A = this chain, B = another copy of it.
Amino acid sequence: MTRTRMEAFSDGVIAILITIMVLELRPPHGTSLADLGPLLPKLLSYLLSFTFLAIYWNNHHHLLHAVDRVNGRVLWANVHLLFWLSLTPFVTAWMGEHHAAPVPVAVYGAVLFLSAVAYYLLVQALLGLHGPKSRLARALGSGRKEKASLAAYAAAIPLAFVERWIAVGIYVAVAIAWWVPDLRIERTLERE
């Protein structure tokens, strides 16, 4: 039961986050197609964050699939992850309003980085509870993709000050790399 409620709560928070971001897309005052132009950076910013939150929902979903039980540490690691994710609408709005100025782009990357760290800590809390020989541990494998994403975010933050589009490009690349759901877990479970 505990796992089910943790899932339902996380799904609820992520569903709300993904949806309230659209409140930032204020309709333009004019009524021509050209009036939509200035909204484009906001829309792309929204699309990127929508994708990241969908990836988190998707991976969180697959992760808990292989989980047998949760404890207090897991619950708090999960809330910690939700906290960083909850800052997504804020940094999305900041980046979208200022045509990707360097500092907002870097701060956006920092929130991505800290969310990824929180996800990593959640995985560690679950591994600590289930042990290295559990179905979960086998399903997760080496965690290479998670580590590569962390490294990419860490690189993107300073690069935002050099050339912001490199940083944005890194975010897009990481999003595409995760687009495919966490097939490792799916496959391991199917084999059993």
A16 to B23, CA, bound (A): 11
* Residues of chain B with a CB closer than 8 A to A20's CB: 16, 19-20, 22-23
A8 CB to closest chain B CB (Å) equals 6
Determine chain A's interface SS by DSSP, over half rule.
helix
A1 CB to closest chain B CB (Å) equals 7
Asked if B50 and A83 sit within 8 Å, CB to CB, the answer is yes
Give 7 closest A-B pairs by Cβ, nearest first: A27-B94, A12-B15, A31-B101, A72-B181, A16-B19, A54-B79, A25-B90
Known contacts A50-B86, A72-B180, then 12 further A-B pairs from the complex at CB < 8 Å, ordered by chain A residue:
A12-B12, A22-B87, A27-B93, A27-B97, A28-B94, A31-B102, A33-B103, A36-B107, A50-B83, A54-B82, A57-B79, A75-B181
